[in-house]
Chain A
Amino acid sequence: MSPLATEAAGNDLLRRALFLPEQASTLAPQIDFLHYLIIVTTLSVGLTIAAAFLFMVVKYRRRSESDTTPRFTTPLWLEATYFGLPVTLFLAWFVIGFCDYVAFAEPPRDALDVYVTAKQWMWKFAYPDGPASINELRVPAGKPVRLLITSRDVIHSFFVPEFRLKHDAVPGRYTQLWFEAPRPGEHPVLCAEYCGLEHSKMRARVIVMEANAFQDWITAEKAKLVADNGLRDAQPPPGAAQQASLREQGGAVAARKGCLKCHSVDGTAHIGPTWRDLYLRRERLEGGGEVIADEAYLTESMMDPAARVVAGFRPVMPSYRGLLTPGETAALIEYIRALRSRDVTPTPSEGPVYAPASGR
């Protein structure tokens, strides 16, 4: 066998012995190499210590209850070895490991960006130029991919065992991760950070495609997107672009239905409260009590404004029940949500307005 083949066979043997899954990213073999190194060293040192221990237990077994033993203290050279040996080993491993860690942390410049949004309990993958998918991440083989990961609610963790990769999805910030899958194939994605009831069912898959097939797929997706947008609103508002985002549609609806006569979007109170930073604000109510302005409350405010009246305002808003289609309501909510000065639920499909997420 050639040395290369021997190496491959050794790798395969150890990988199976340790129950490691297939190595499906370019970084996986590096990680596994250090793993093998540590396990082999640990086992040999461990067995040596165990053997010495057993040997002494037998050799120096107790012969009488009143045995006396000589006083013995470890000589300095032995003491130094006890300290020096682990220091050397540990530091060597650390240097190897940390180099890999740094490589993990810095994505190549030409990486393809994909936005990953986790929420209880699913994964959404969105490409900068439009298409998005749920629980299915398609990437081209042989090309580095950078994932920009965030969460909409609690902390999750994006984990692909076959890539030896994981990164937490933290609400309120983007974290990044990159990988390159050399071969086409399918790999499971798991959520590794406990996130509640369905944590263990929050699974997805990565589908690695031939580069050409991937290009075809993304082109087809884009075409579908354009067609879908045309269908979504049977009577598109005059002047609104065909493929406008939900948020833009919301702005148009607000203007058309006259909401902006009473509500401002710049933070100033008018006849009604401003929509700026309204989403998830704690709203004090007329007659005591508080409410968090989530989607449910916003919808209620449009359909039944008198049900809960904001403190300091008069109940003059008309009900829009029956006057707004579900599509328009959703668009309005999306529009209000977007009016946040400190956005914790960034919309990934907006495109890469991204600053590297080291620290904050």
Chain B
Amino acid sequence: MRQLPADEASHQPPRDGVAPAHSYLDHGTTVWSWLTTKDHKRIGVMFLGSVLLMFFMGGVFALLLRLELLQPQPSFFDGLTYNRLFTLHGVTMVWLFLIPSIPTTFGNFCLPLMLGAKDLAFPRLNLASLYLYWFGALVTLFGMFQGGTDTGWTFYTPYSTTSSVEVLPVLVGIFILGFSTILTGVNFIVSTHLTRAKGLTWRRIPLFVWTIYGTSIIQVLATPVLAITLALVGLDAGFGIGLFDPQRGGDPVLYQHLFWFYSHPAVYIMILPGMGVVSELVCAFARKNISSYAAIVISTLGIAFVGFFTWGHHMFVAGQSVFDAGAFGVLSMLVAIFTAVKILTWTTTLYRGSIAITAPFVYVAGFIFLLFFGGMSGVALATTSIDIHWHDTYFVVAHFHFIMVGASLMAFFGALHYWFPKMFGRRYPEGLGIGAAVLIVFGFIATFLPQFLLGNAGMPRRYFTYPEQYQPLHVTSTAGASLLGFGFLIIALYLAWSLRWGKVSGANPWGSRGYEWLTPSPPPLHNFHEVPTFERDVHDYTVPEAGHGA
């Protein structure tokens, strides 16, 4: 491992300005030093690279699907390929991108910084989690390409247990990924409890930490249920135990209950961290304390808790009893109320602030707007009666893409831009950043607004061919998707460029008073030269600049 500054300097491109002499990036530059690191920051960066790759793949699958849907008749693919593509798209985006996206990357990177800790509680476990992720991802992707799984990411029985395609390898892959999720979750929970610096009480920790904490609880509690369910499906498909197969006396709807018992909370695994990001970003760019810390914390924990009791809203038309439907409907409404409280609290935070329009702020605005409509469409679905019409149509597709892409992805990209200088010590071109962000928000609306209307018109999901009257809306949606793709391409290019040639950012380019900015950017190996005292509340902008920055 080369650690001599002189040796390093010869490998670095000329820098403009002064980058911190010694950051976590300089402690060993070999591949080996990265692969064996126990530094949460490096692990976070490696996770970031991996999930971005997965996002790219999932995005390509999505564009291929949109391309096929330009025409009502088969055009580019045959039916089987189409069915495999949407399965690939779903599995990649849900398990390989969205679920790990924010916690394993920005959570990993920022949590110890925000807590004034040197690292997570279990650094080795953290690395194990990364390896499990890689291994699980490989098995999953291999399984899908090899076996040609065409069941959709939901693996509904008895189709998945009786169809001729191989589902077992994919299930094994997701099973492994689950362990990665659980390890990360455990690590975050323990770190939040045990590694907080002096003075960081539960009433003062940053809101991002709260959401990562809430998310981790869901991960640890729900993922085992997924593992059990997948194992049972595996036994059913591979050995014919027949638990979910009515021909052998099993019950396919039981599968749906087990699957959604995990997968509904999983939606909150995907959105809660995004809400945490937005809580940070709103404060940073409005230079304002959050207008109600308690409301955000309570609603975070409320979502994490109540999210476990809403899974039945996926089965309003599957033959569950009227009582069940009513109970699950009301509980789903309750989760939405927590979200509403958050949206109103963020908006109120702007009041009397000092608002800077930057790329991350555009993502925040996009997030709030899209989450609002995504959430309201969820409320509409939870009324039970309209769901009879909307269930399994494009309306549902649009609804969850508003939440999972509209909201989660906006938060992810907001976080990426906000913490890019923190991670790499360099800035991206702000003008380009704002332009791309605006493009993404409008591209998104153009893609998914037509899908709401398609659902209203009665277009079912997972349709390879479709009745002709739906074509105009499909064409609009595909046009929007290409805008989106274009926007992401721009972002990829300028971020890659900025990694090397971006302006050196300095410790705190945003003037943010989030705790993670109290140390240089990029942070030194052990995060702090000296541990800060955390005298002020997080995002307190009441007094002029003083004593901030290490």
Chain A residues packing against B (C-beta within 8 Å): 18-21, 30-31, 34-35, 38-39, 42, 46, 49-50, 52-53, 56-57, 60-63, 65-74, 78-79, 82-83, 85-87, 90-91, 93-94, 96-102, 104-105, 153-155, 157, 159, 161-162, 164-168, 170-173, 175, 188, 190-201, 203, 280, 282, 342, 344, 357-360
A197 pairs with B79, CB closer than 8 A = yes
B351 pairs with A72, CB closer than 8 A = yes
Q: Could you show 9 A-B contacts with beta carbons less than 8 Å apart?
A: A66-B511, A100-B385, A101-B322, A101-B325, A161-B389, A190-B458, A200-B460, A201-B465, A359-B320
B163 pairs with A196, CB closer than 8 A = yes
B354 pairs with A192, CB closer than 8 A = no
Bound Cα distance A194, B460 (Å): 9
If the complex has contacts A83-B341, A94-B329, are A170 and B319 also in contact, measured as CB distance less than 8 A?
A: yes
B464 pairs with A199, CB closer than 8 A = yes
Chain B residues packing against A (C-beta within 8 Å): 79-80, 83, 150-152, 156, 158-159, 162-163, 240, 246-249, 251-253, 286-289, 291-292, 295, 316-322, 325-326, 329-330, 333, 336-337, 340-341, 343-345, 347-348, 350-357, 365, 368-369, 372-373, 376, 379-380, 382-386, 388-389, 391-393, 453-454, 456-458, 460-467, 473, 511, 540-545
Q: Please name all residues of chain A whose beta carbon is closer than 8 Å to the beta carbon of B350 when the two chains form the complex.
A: 53, 56-57, 60
- What's the least CB distance linking A360 to chain B, in Å? 8
Give the interface centre of A70, A74, A85 by most chain B CB atoms within 10 Å: A74
Bound Cα distance A164, B253 (Å): 23
If the complex has contacts A31-B386, A46-B373, A359-B320, are A157 and B380 also in contact, measured as CB distance less than 8 A?
A: no
Bound Cα distance A99, B453 (Å): 25
Bound Cα distance A42, B340 (Å): 12
Other A-B contacts than A31-B389, A60-B352, A69-B286, 15 sampled, CB-CB below 8 A, are A38-B376, A60-B355, A61-B355, A68-B354, A82-B295, A85-B340, A94-B333, A94-B384, A98-B329, A101-B325, A164-B388, A175-B319, A191-B460, A194-B156, A195-B159
* Closest A residue to B295 using CB positions: A79
Contact for A344 among B247, B291, B372, CB less than 8 A? B247
A68 pairs with B544, CB closer than 8 A = yes
B325 pairs with A192, CB closer than 8 A = no
- What's the least CB distance linking A348 to chain B, in Å? 16
Bound Cα distance A21, B455 (Å): 11
Give the interface centre of B152, B253, B393 by most chain A CB atoms within 10 Å: B253
A357 pairs with B465, CB closer than 8 A = no
Q: Please name all residues of chain A whose beta carbon is closer than 8 Å to the beta carbon of B393 when the two chains form the complex.
A: 159, 192
B462 pairs with A90, CB closer than 8 A = no
A20 pairs with B457, CB closer than 8 A = yes
Q: Please name all residues of chain B whose beta carbon is closer than 8 Å to the beta carbon of A171 when the two chains form the complex.
A: 158, 246-247, 252
If the complex has contacts A101-B322, A197-B79, are A49 and B343 also in contact, measured as CB distance less than 8 A?
A: yes
Bound Cα distance A46, B392 (Å): 26
Q: Please name all residues of chain B whose beta carbon is closer than 8 Å to the beta carbon of A66 when the two chains form the complex.
A: 511, 544-545
Bound Cα distance A105, B321 (Å): 9
Bound Cα distance A185, B158 (Å): 35
Q: Please name all residues of chain B whose beta carbon is closer than 8 Å to the beta carbon of A357 when the two chains form the complex.
A: 319
B391 pairs with A192, CB closer than 8 A = yes
Give the interface centre of B321, B337, B453, B454 by most chain A CB atoms within 10 Å: B337
Contact for A46 among B292, B372, B454, CB less than 8 A? B372
- What's the least CB distance linking A50 to chain B, in Å? 6
Bound Cα distance A89, B457 (Å): 26
Q: Please name all residues of chain B whose beta carbon is closer than 8 Å to the beta carbon of A190 when the two chains form the complex.
A: 458, 460
B380 pairs with A68, CB closer than 8 A = no
Give the interface centre of A153, A193, A282 by most chain B CB atoms within 10 Å: A193
